[in-house]
Amino acid sequence: MIRNFDDVLNLAREKGSKILSVAVAQDKEVLLAVKEAKEREIADAILVGDKEKIIEIGKSIGLDIDKFGIVDIKDVKEASLKAVELVSTGKAHMIMKGLVDTSIILKVVLNDDVGLKTGKILSHVAVFDILTYEKVLFVTDAAMNIAPSLEAKKEILENANFVAQSLGIEEPKVAVICAKEKVNLKMPDTVDASKLTEMNENGEIKNCVVKGPFALDNAISMEAAKHKGINHPVAGDADILLMPDIEAGNILYKALVFLAGAENAGVIVGAKAPVVLTSRADSESAKLNSIALGALMASKNKEEQQK
């Protein structure tokens, strides 16, 4: 069982160092995370961006710049394109957003010529280490899909399932979160939750256990589940929380970080390679955790290709 981010970092190291392509790398917090990922033997990096600024920042944080490849491109869009191309051509295993707008990097990821498009939906998966929960908790989607349809929720769920399996969770328990734990025809998300449960039971959604609708409390609290008379393997013991829409997901994400003090990591899933996409408000440790998460996904991709 992966209980915390120490376990995540250790597992990423055990799986072997991966190569990270950093788009517009002249960012102090990103370079600090890259430095620690290198020191922990989780990931090496190719730094794409303004070489002079990268070297200047590197010196200020004690980064041995000679240990990293640098591609000198000052234009933000061109640097992003090159960083993605390094991944699509197999020179790197994953892409990380540096000092560039999210919209720019995602547009390049979906570029028809050098991008990482698969035809699958792109979705955000957050992982949390919370003091009050005995294992890491996955939350999706808090950043990408505004009001997903039933089919989109299925793909978002499958993306999150892949991330959880990358951490060695063989059959993740997925709770489909709504405002209540009973189906109500006036609440479409509860109907979707019931349909996703049926898809799992009839084999359309594989390699996980899905149940819904769940209210948040009875998805993560055994006591709350027992109080409501809910007896199911997912009840009170969820690995993945599938949120009904971006508003619920984003509010939960920020509540866990800013009110509960949870450590976190985040990746974009659904492309050919992991997209490590953190915000400037994220801590250095969150960026390091996200690199480790991307590295584990890259390892999982390699294992799938070798089957």
Q: Do domains 5-117+271-301 and 123-258 have the same CATH topology?
A: no
- Tell whether pTM > 0.85: yes
Dump pLDDT digits (tens) for 66-99. Answer: 999 999 999 999 999 999 999 999 999 999 999 9
State how far the Cα of 61 lies from the Cα of 67, in Å rounded to an integer.
14
Taking CA atoms, 61 is separated from 58, 104, 114, 116, in Å, by 5, 27, 33, 32
Q: Are 131 and 261 in contact (CB under 8 A)?
A: yes
Q: Are 269 and 122 in contact (CB under 8 A)?
A: yes
Dump pLDDT digits (tens) for 18-73. Answer: 999 999 999 999 999 999 999 999 999 999 999 999 999 999 999 999 999 999 99
Average pLDDT per block of 10 residues along the chain, 307 residues long = 94 96 95 96 97 96 93 96 96 95 93 90 96 96 96 98 96 97 96 98 97 97 93 96 97 95 95 89 88 96 80
State how far the Cα of 124 lies from the Cα of 121, in Å rounded to an integer.
10
Q: What is the pLDDT of residue 282?
A: 78
Q: What is the pLDDT of residue 302?
A: 85
Q: Where are the domains of the chain?
A: 5-117+271-301, 123-258
Would you say domain 5-117+271-301 falls under CATH 3.40.630.30? no
State how far the Cα of 210 lies from the Cα of 159, in Å rounded to an integer.
14
* Homologous superfamily of the 123-258 domain (CATH): Isopropylmalate Dehydrogenase (3.40.718.10)
Q: What is the pLDDT of residue 305?
A: 79
